[in-house]
């Protein structure tokens, strides 16, 4: 399916990288790539090429970045970027994290470096980072998984002060936390699935702004496996998304909710063990059905199509049988209506980034829900009805492994005609649109804005 577009990367030396997160810039998408012992990279489209614009505190050369996510923590309409630095395998690290705040003048500052936040830095080791609008206000907090130490959950006050509320909201969990996927999984608000290794997964239900683990009750704890990547997929517009969990050299899972419990419905092609790192669900070929991309470490990457049962298909140039995959993210970086797939490498050895796309002639519709403050509404659900069926997406707040996808609901249409679109924000409000055009990007303001 995929064709190699890595030649569009203007400067692409071998690089040890891990997570990647996509945030909206003033002139298009920005992809923040975590550099491990190397400078972070910030990629954007510029005059036919993908260029690296990182400098200063964004580049932060020398630390060991691994997980990254973006969201609007201070309710100013612009997304901050949280960078989790990890200089040891577990426990604590001697490298502090960054919480990068755009000033609106083209520069960034690290909120942890503000004198107001002295002593509040994070030195605990984790892996993935995810944004959570726990109260549905459009003001996000950042959850950092713990790996042998309690997790963190940071919120930012009006004065720029950073507070760790993990113990107050039920997120100070000691696990071998690997991946976090966020969205309306059980409730109408923002829930979390936490994939772990050396112990059970967690399913954290939002109970009015605090979180309660119901993984065992709902059957997703899976204590004998070692999770890596995770993603949400919603086949045929089902009311509850399925959870895809990629396990390290173990059987992969497709947790489907029925009768108040999840069961593993993964067909053989999906369940087959692999050296999985990141799992991504997206419609790369604009045919109206999502594909599942599994980024693997030192083994061929995999691609599955939803033909009623998730079967493996040819991945094309993205096979990368010797790629040391660590993270991956999707966005339409060049604005042509077809998603690009960026794959990051670097587990044990520096390798160049890879960029892929699946050329096609299918129609598409892209939807950007916003908070009341005008920032991306991560965690919102978007449902599209066409004359060919029903599709659903959750605006990504954290998924894959160490990564976060673009804050846009991308719908491939093929030759279908869009009929109606409903956006449901994390506060439960809804808005329905019926005047829809293919090959457009819709911006959907919050009903209270």
Tens digit of each residue's pLDDT (9 = 90 or more) over 152-180: 999 999 999 999 999 999 999 999 999 99
The pLDDT assigned to 340 comes to: 98
- Is 108 inside a domain boundary? yes
Tens digit of each residue's pLDDT (9 = 90 or more) over 399-426: 889 999 999 999 999 999 999 999 999 9
Domain containing 159 — which CATH number? 2.130.10.10
Tens digit of each residue's pLDDT (9 = 90 or more) over 269-283: 999 999 999 999 999
Find tokens 């459009």 and name the residue.
138
193 vs 213: CA distance, rounded Å: 9
pTM over 0.85: yes
Tens digit of each residue's pLDDT (9 = 90 or more) over 94-130: 999 999 999 877 789 999 999 999 999 999 999 999 9
Find tokens 């604590």 and name the residue.
92
434 vs 425: CA distance, rounded Å: 18
Nearest to 79 by CA among 143, 135, 33, 138: 138
Q: Tokens for 22?
A: 């996509």
58 vs 350: CA distance, rounded Å: 20
pLDDT interval class at 89 (50, 70, 90): confident
The pLDDT assigned to 87 comes to: 87
Burial grade of 51 (CB within 10 A; 0-12, 13-18, 19 or more): middle
State the chain's mean pLDDT as an integer.
Answer: 95
Name, in order, each residue with C-beta under 8 angstroms of 402's C-beta and a sequence gap of 6 or more: 18, 19, 20, 34, 66, 67, 68, 127, 128, 129, 179, 278, 326, 327
Q: Tokens for 120?
A: 């509040």
pLDDT interval class at 449 (50, 70, 90): confident
Tens digit of each residue's pLDDT (9 = 90 or more) over 287-335: 999 999 999 999 999 999 998 889 999 999 999 999 999 999 999 999 9
Helix residue ranges, H only, 219-370: 268-271
From first CA to last CA, the distance across the chain in angstroms is: 41
Beta bridge partners, 64, equal 36
Instruction: For 154, list phi and psi in degrees, rounded to 5.
Output: -105, 130
Give the up-direction half-sphere exposure of residue 11: CA atoms within 13 A in the CB hemisphere.
9
Please give the average per-residue pLDDT across 207-223, as a whole number: 97
The pLDDT assigned to 342 comes to: 98
Check residue 223 and give left, alpha or beta (phi > 0: left; psi -120 to 50: alpha): alpha
Q: Is the pLDDT of residue 220 over 90?
A: yes
- Is 330 inside a domain boundary? yes
- Is 421 inside a domain boundary? no
Nearest to 37 by CA among 80, 88, 91: 88
Q: Check: CB of residue 191 under 8 Å from CB of residue 222.
A: no
Distance of alpha carbon 6 from the chain centroid: 22
Q: Is the pLDDT of residue 26 over 80?
A: no
Give residue 191's domain range.
Answer: 3-369
- Is 409 inside a domain boundary? no
Longest dimension (CA), the chain: 57
Domain count, the chain: 1
DSSP class per residue in 83-117: EEE-SSSSSB-SS--EEEEE-SSS-EEEGGGSGGG
Nearest to 420 by CA among 407, 409, 431: 431
Please give the average per-residue pLDDT across 175-190, as a whole number: 93
């Amino acid at each position: 399916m995929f064709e190699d577009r890595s030649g569009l990367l203007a400067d692409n030396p071998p690089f040890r990288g891990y997570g990647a997160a996509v945030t909206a810039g003033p002139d298009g998408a920005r992809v923040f790539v975590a550099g491990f012992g190397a400078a972070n990279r910030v990629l954007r489209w510029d005059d036919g090429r993908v260029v690296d614009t990182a400098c200063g505190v964004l580049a932060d050369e020398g630390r060991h970045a691994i997980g990254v996510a973006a969201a609007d923590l201070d309710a100013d309409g612009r997304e901050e970027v949280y960078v989790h630095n990890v200089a040891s395998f577990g426990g604590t690290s001697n490298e502090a994290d960054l919480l990068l705040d755009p000033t609106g003048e083209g520069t960034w500052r690290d909120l942890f470096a503000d004198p107001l936040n002295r002593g509040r830095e994070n030195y605990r080791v984790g892996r993935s980072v995810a944004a959570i609008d726990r109260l549905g206000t459009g003001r996000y907090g950042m959850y950092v998984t713990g790996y042998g130490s309690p997790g963190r959950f940071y919120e930012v006050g009006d004065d720029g002060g950073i507070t760790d509320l993990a113990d107050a909201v039920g997120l100070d969990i000691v696990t071998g936390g690997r991946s976090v996927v966020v969205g309306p999984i059980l409730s109408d608000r923002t829930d979390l699935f936490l994939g772990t290794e050396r112990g059970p997964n967690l399913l954290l239900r939002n109970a009015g702004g605090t979180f309660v683990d119901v993984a065992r009750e709902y059957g997703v704890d899976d204590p004998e496996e070692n999770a890596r990547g995770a993603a949400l997929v919603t086949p045929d517009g089902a009311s509850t998304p399925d959870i895809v969990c990629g396990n390290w050299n173990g059987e992969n899972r497709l947790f489907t909710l029925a009768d108040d419990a999840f069961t593993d419905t993964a067909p053989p092609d999906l369940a087959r063990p692999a050296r999985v790192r990141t799992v991504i669900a997206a419609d790369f070929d604009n045919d109206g059905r999502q594909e599942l991309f599994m980024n693997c470490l030192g083994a061929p990457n995999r691609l599955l199509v939803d033909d009623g049962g998730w079967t493996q298909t040819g991945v094309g140039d993205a096979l990368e049988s010797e790629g040391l995959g660590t993270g991956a993210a999707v966005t339409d970086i060049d604005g042509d209506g077809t998603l690009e797939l960026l794959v990051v490498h670097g587990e044990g050895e520096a390798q160049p980034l890879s960029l892929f796309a699946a050329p096609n002639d299918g129609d598409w519709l892209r939807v950007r829900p916003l908070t009341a403050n005008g920032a991306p509404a991560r965690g919102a659900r978007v449902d599209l009805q066409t004359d060919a069926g029903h599709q659903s997406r959750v605006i990504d707040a954290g998924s894959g492994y160490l990564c976060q996808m673009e804050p846009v609901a991308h719908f491939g249409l093929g030759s279908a005609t869009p009929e109606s679109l409903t956006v449901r924000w994390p506060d439960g409000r809804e808005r329905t649109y019926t005047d829809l055009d293919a090959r457009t990007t819709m911006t959907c303001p919050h009903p209270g804005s």
